[in-house]
């Protein structure tokens, strides 16, 4: 079966979720363009959107229509040049009508009968995914290919558990899928003929940068992020030997953002992902790395206290390690006191800032470098100063850089990543770092 034939029967499971809705949008756009292309006259493309929540599916349909209109407005000229049906003043209406014509929604897995490409983005639970794949195997086309968005479960566990005979691959979009360019392609040892090549082509069709990873729990992205987060939490707990824990969390968050020139501090990033999600990914990874300590009692205590981070349905950030007001960090959670300590102009904050010392000479913020063509030279000069700077902030940052590099190297030596370049590529494209963890700065 060619890819164009497979595109005529596509399905998304968990379509109403955070990841599923973005994946549905990307596929709806691609399939609509194919449907309208003169080469495909007489062919019928289908996109089945499946979720257990009927409400989520209703919301998804209006979201897709709204986004489709924007898509045509933004890409109008390019689309018109390739597809005559879109070279008219009412191109947006034509596109939305064609898109609605290929969408089907269902809350019943049986609605996937005949599907040949299935994108799965249901909850990160092995037993649930196995149950769904076991049923899907009977319902879908006998040669269907499955693309799981799992963040951490080895693909082999899905393949063997549901007897898919190599027809499943990890197609790990980053959040939000419609915006983030990276897809980590997790290739299991046993993979059906043609699936890997087809995945690369689908990635291209959807406008993604594909970085391959081997099938080891956590893969590259979470393989680095989990260990990096554990380092940040351990560093804060170590500092807390001399001061309060909330003050230490504030300090490590600053160091991991400003001194490391990253887009977010580590505690802000854990809040963004969700403390409970972070904890559950660690739990999934733990049995696969018996020689490593992938456990944090700090995250366990926070989750037990009901502090979970993540986002509200309007996309705004919920409180986690840090408190947010209008998108800005406004406080830090004090586990012992069970409340947030305001950042305001409190004494504890000035004392913590003073203890870190000033940023090394040549510092530029992430924001100021992100579009700077000379960012590489500026970063090299800055880190050159940082590693010899004796102030506590710089020393903490140096230890952080060393740990992040060691994690990157471990991912290569442990057979997760095929090269240091792939590790760096995931961190730079998926996490928006300006430099890869495997570098010459330390
Ligand atoms: N959120 C992220 O940042 C992120 C990033 C990359 C990968 N992932 C992975 O993507 C997957 C989905 O995560 P999410 O954050 O979008 O979760 P989510 O909770 O937002 O969405 C899950 C969706 O699955 C639906 N669902 C639950 N059980 C179902 C079933 N039996 N059949 C059909 N649909 C069902 C839910 O109704 C929901 O709409 C997980 O495997 C996760 O690890 C998440």
For residue 273, the CA-to-ligand 1 centroid distance in Å is 13
pLDDT above 90 (res 134): yes
- Closest CA to ligand 1's atom 15: 18
Atom of ligand 1 nearest to the CA of 131: 31
Q: What is the mean pLDDT of residues 154-178?
A: 97
Angle at 394 between CA 398 and CA 220, to 5 degrees: 35
The predicted pLDDT at position 284 comes to 93
pLDDT of residue 313: 81
pLDDT level of residue 77 (50, 70, 90 thresholds):
confident
- Please give the pLDDT value at position 348: 95
**Mean pLDDT (whole number) for 120-132:** 96
Distance 14 CA to ligand 1 centre (A): 6
| Spatial CA neighbour of 164 closest among 134, 122, 198, 131 | 134
What residue owns the CA closest to ligand 1's atom 7? 151
The predicted structure's pLDDT at residue 86: 93
* pLDDT interval class at 344 (50, 70, 90): confident
**Using a 6 Å cutoff on CB, does residue 150 contact ligand 1?**
yes
Is the sign of the CA dihedral 137, 138, 144, 146 positive or negative? negative
Confirm or reject: Cβ of 94 under 6 Å from ligand 1: no
Mean pLDDT on 31-46: 97
CA distances (Å), 308 to each of 163, 182, 433, in order?
A: 35, 26, 24
Q: How close is the Cα of 19 to the center of ligand 1, in Å?
A: 6
Q: 184: Cβ below 6 Å to ligand 1?
A: no
Task: Quote the ligand 1 centre to 374 CA distance (angstroms).
Answer: 39
C-beta of residue 433 within 8 angstroms of C-beta of residue 379: no
How big is the CA angle at 9 (ends 5 and 12), to the nearest 5 degrees? 135
pLDDT at 405 over 90: yes
pLDDT of residue 193 exceeding 90, the answer is yes
Q: What's the mean pLDDT in 312-334? A: 94
The arithmetic mean of pLDDT across residues 281-288, rounded, is 95
What's the confidence (pLDDT) of residue 4? 98
Question: Stretch 228-252: mean pLDDT, rounded?
Answer: 96
Instruction: Round to the nearest angstrom and report the end-to-end CA distance of the chain.
Output: 50
Q: Which ligand 1 atom lies nearest to the CA of residue 53?
A: 37
Q: What is the mean pLDDT of residues 238-243?
A: 92
Confidence of residue 225 (pLDDT cuts 50, 70, 90): very high
31-40 mean pLDDT: 97
Instruction: Specify the pLDDT at position 346.
Output: 81
State mean pLDDT over 171-194: 96
Mean pLDDT of 168-193: 97
Ligand 1 pocket member 175 (CB < 6 A): yes
pTM of the model: 0.95
Q: Which atom of ligand 1 is nearest to the CA of 124?
A: 41
Task: Give me the DSSP letters along 297-354.
Answer: HHHHHHHHTT----B-TTSPBPPSSEEEETTEEEEEEETTTTEEEE-TT-HHHHHHHH
pLDDT at residue 315 tops 90: no
Domains of the chain: residue spans and CATH: 3-214 (3.40.50.720), 221-430 (1.10.1040.10)
pLDDT mean across residues, the chain: 96
From the CB of 16, is ligand 1 less than 6 Å away?
yes
Mean pLDDT of 178-195: 97
Q: What pLDDT, on a 0 to 100 scale, did the predictor assign at position 345?
A: 77
Which residues have CB under 8 Å from 183's CB, separation 6+? 171, 172, 173, 174, 203, 206, 208, 209, 210, 211
């Amino acid at each position: 079966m060619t890819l164009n034939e497979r595109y005529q029967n596509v399905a998304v499971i968990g379509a109403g979720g955070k990841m599923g809705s973005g994946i549905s949008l990307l596929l709806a756009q691609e399939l609509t363009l194919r449907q309208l292309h003169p080469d495909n006259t007489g062919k019928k493309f289908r996109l089945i959107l499946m979720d257990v929540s009927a409400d989520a599916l209703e919301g998804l349909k209006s979201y897709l229509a709204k986004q489709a209109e924007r898509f045509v407005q933004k890409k109008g000229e390019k689309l018109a040049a390739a597809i005559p049906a879109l070279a008219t003043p009412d191109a947006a209406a034509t596109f939305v009508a064609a898109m609605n014509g290929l969408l089907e929604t269902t809350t019943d897995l049986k609605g996937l009968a005949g599907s040949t490409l299935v994108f799965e983005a249901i909850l990160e639970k092995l037993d649930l995914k196995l149950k769904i794949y076991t049923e899907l195997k009977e319902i879908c086309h006998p040669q269907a290919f499955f693309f799981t968005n799992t963040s951490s479960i080895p693909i082999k566990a899905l393949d063997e558990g549901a007897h898919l005979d190599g027809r499943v691959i990890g197609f790990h979009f980053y959040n939000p899928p419609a915006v983030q360019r990276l897809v980590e392609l997790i290739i299991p040892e046993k993979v059906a003929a043609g699936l890997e090549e087809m995945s690369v082509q689908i990635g291209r069709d959807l406008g993604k940068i594909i970085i391959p990873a081997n099938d080891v729990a956590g893969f590259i992205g979470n393989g680095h992020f989990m260990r990096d987060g554990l380092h940040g939490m351990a560093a804060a707990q170590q500092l807390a030997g001399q001061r309060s824990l909330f003050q230490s969390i504030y300090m490590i968050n600053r160091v991991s953002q400003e001194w490391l020139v990253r887009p977010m501090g580590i505690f802000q990033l854990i809040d963004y992902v969700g403390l409970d999600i972070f904890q559950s990914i660690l739990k999934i990874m733990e049995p696969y790395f018996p020689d490593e300590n992938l456990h944090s009692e700090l995250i366990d205590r926070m989750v037990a206290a009901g502090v979970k981070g993540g986002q509200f349905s309007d996309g705004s950030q919920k409180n986690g390690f840090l408190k947010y007001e209008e998108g800005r960090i406004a406080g830090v959670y004090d586990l012992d006191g069970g409340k947030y300590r305001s950042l305001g102009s409190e004494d504890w904050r000035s004392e913590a800032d003073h203890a870190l010392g000033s940023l090394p000479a040549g510092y530029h913020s992430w924001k100021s470098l992100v579009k700077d063509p000379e960012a590489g030279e500026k970063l090299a000069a800055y880190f050159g100063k940082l590693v010899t700077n004796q102030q506590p902030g710089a020393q903490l940052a140096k230890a952080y850089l060393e740990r992040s590099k060691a994690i990157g190297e471990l991912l290569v030596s442990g057979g997760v990543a095929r090269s240091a370049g792939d590790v760096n590529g995931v961190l730079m494209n998926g996490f928006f770092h300006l430099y890869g963890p495997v570098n010459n700065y330390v």
